[in-house]
Amino acid sequence: MEENIEKMLAGQPYRPGKDGLSEMSRKAHLLCQKYNQLPETDGKRKEILNELCPDHGDGVFLQGPIQFDYGRFTHLGKNFYANFNLTVLDTCPITIGKNVMCGPNVSLITPLHPLMYQQRNPRMQADGEVDTVEYGAPITIGDNCWLASNITVCPGVTIGNGCVIGAGAVVTKDVPDNSLVVGVPGRVVRKITEKDRLNNYPY
């Protein structure tokens, strides 16, 4: 793997326009567009998903529309489900466990940009190309989590197993197992316990 791509995946400063990264992302965007144009019952969606996100378990269903930056750097666990408008910016690895559910408008965001505009703005590089510099941090979501609607998970966050992230939350820091998170920024309000089990619901 090219050094620039290795730096990207490791969360180090890298150049997004170098070593074929632009071509990779454009291919992923095209695959997303094709996926979004197909009815949810069309079997070709599975073929596109296999090409876009080859690292996925069985039973994955993405309602669509979807938007992945690369797709190939994301692991979707068994029985992953996403409602409308899933956005996945996987410049760093994104790892999602089994039986994870996402409501509409969930965004998983790994990229970061320099705070100093002198580093953030496009500039001439040593090789004569005009390019930008970015970096990022990976996201991990454990098993059996539910992310409700309009949620943003920020770079570098790990969400433990069995968590529920309430609607509209912006998750900026790690979340322990079996936690209920709400708010902006997201905060743990309590543990999820047996008291939360629905009465008279057979399981």
The yes-or-no answer on residue 113 being catalytic is yes
Strands of 107-109's sheet in order across? 66-68, 86-89, 107-109, 152-153, 170-171
Q: One-letter amino acid identity for 34?
A: K
Task: Tell me the C-alpha to C-alpha distance, in Å, between residue 157 and each of 12, 68, 80.
Answer: 16, 18, 19
Q: One-letter amino acid identity for 71?
A: G
Residue showing tokens 């876009």 = 52
Q: Tell me how crowded residue 120 is: count the other CB atoms within 10 A of its CB.
A: 13
Task: Tell me the C-alpha to C-alpha distance, in Å, between residue 64 and each of 47, 74, 107, 161, 185.
Answer: 15, 17, 13, 25, 27
Residue showing tokens 């910016």 = 89
DSSP, residue by residue, 9-26 = HTT--B-TTSTTHHHHHH
Mind telling me the catalytic residues?
113
